[in-house]
Amino acid sequence: MGILSKLRDMVKSQPILVIFLVEIAQALTSRDYFSSTQTSHSDHSPRDLDLSIIVGSLCLILRKWRQRRAIRAAVPTINYLIGYGAKVILSSHLGRPKGVTPKYSLKPLVPRLSELLGVEVKMANDCIGEEVEKLVAEIPEGGVLLLENVRFYKEEEKNDPEFAKKLASFADLYVNDAFGTAHRAHASTEGVAKYLKPSVAGFLMQKELDYLVGAVANPKKPFAAIVGGSKVSSKIGVIESLLEKVDILILGGGMIFTFYKAQGHAVGSSLVEEDKLSLARSLMEKAKAKGVSLLLPSDIVVADKFAADANSKVVPASGIPDGWMGLDIGPETIKSFGEALDTTKTVIWNGPMGVFEFEKFATGTEAIAKKLAELSGKGATTIIGGGDSVAAVEKVGLADKMSHISTGGGASLELLEGKPLPGVLALNDA
């Protein structure tokens, strides 16, 4: 599934066209969003960018570009292609427009993309059609063309074969670096690979798979997983899958109150999924049967309302008062979780310990981030599995201390659950 030798050999033998597809947040168009980005070829770790490549003579598809780290993640693959004379066509999606919607146009990206990549980026007014075909033919070796938002066509998300074929018609080779959307079978992530061979993984995709698949399949022991978030229902598959592999499973976030109630504890006004009580009991029994140390918080920071300025206090997890809700793990829990993690060699973290968006209830999540940074410094493999846990690590400035920051939220979860990812299966070397 590697990209290096295949791309190098293809580009050396003939000029290659690259289509670069991006799912871009609104903030991408602002100068501040792009500030401080670097183009180091050694930095392949950034988050939240999904990059794929098609080539027509070469097509590169960049799909999800939300943070500075994500921007840096794309640069090595793009620069590698440009460096070997590839003709790069950037094609992206932004938002969920219903047809052609000017506010979702990608045109504002051109100046910053040009600055970031160090080459003049040209812009097309469409992503398929004769105009694009003409512009593609005019791209010089090492040149870049940005196509208009692919989601202006409803066929993109429907994975329409004809639309995918039109996208692929510009290319000779497909490289998918879009891990964050690898769990979606869209025309630009799965469909195009049917028309372009070989279809290979980019630097970022390969790193994601190496860490998330490799760490779980063959982890250094002891292996711990930290799973947070508001609902058990959203993490059932992950928890069940991890119970087959980990030595320690730490649970935090709003989901813990369903477990507490399943144990017969008072939970006050805390979030509880009443229909998941038997599931919670089943998961605890399964952990015990498999010899997995399943750890729940021993104390909780509770609040009298769900607000940043709420009154708060620390109470035992076994008895949350009526009218109060748990919004973070307590100091004793932070200490005990830290001690449990001290001997671990591999840690995967997905989901915050509390409502970290409120400063008063961010202590537990920040403490876990600091602990994992400490473990990384001691040689442990630490993987942040996308979503809010990534935002938390970024917030405390410790992202660079982790072994790997995943760019995929849903994709990370599905991979940890053991589910196949359409965007990966589409690669002929997968």
> What residues are designated binding site for ATP?
235, 357, 386-389
Name the maximum alpha-carbon separation found in the chain: 72
Nearest by Cα to 183 from 422, 425, 385:
422
Q: Which residues pair with 225 in a beta bridge?
A: 249, 348
Sequence letter at residue 276:
K
Tokens at residue 149, please?
Answer: 């938002």
C-alpha of 47 from chain center: 6
Nearest by Cα to 90 from 124, 40, 138:
124
Nearest by Cα to 43 from 323, 400, 387:
400
Sequence letter at residue 166:
K
C-alpha of 339 from chain center: 28
CA 259, 263, 265 angle in degrees (round to 5)?
A: 95
What secondary structure letter does DSSP report for 192?
G
Residues within the annotated binding site?
235, 357, 386-389
CA 205, 206, 212 angle in degrees (round to 5)?
A: 85
Q: How far apart are the first and last CA of the chain?
A: 6
CA pair distance 150, 158, nearest whole angstrom: 12
Strands of the 325-329 sheet, one edge to the other: 312-316, 299-303, 325-329
Element (H, E) at 410: helix 410-416
Query: Which residues, in sequence order, are CB contacts of 304 under 8 Å at separation 6+?
Result: 310, 311, 312, 323, 324
Q: Where are the beta strands (DSSP E) in 31-182?
A: 51-55, 59-62, 87-91, 121-123, 144-146, 173-176
Tokens at residue 333, please?
Answer: 């829990």
> 395-407 burial by CB neighbour count: b if 16+ within 10 A, else e?
bbebbebbbbbbb
Sequence letter at residue 409:
G
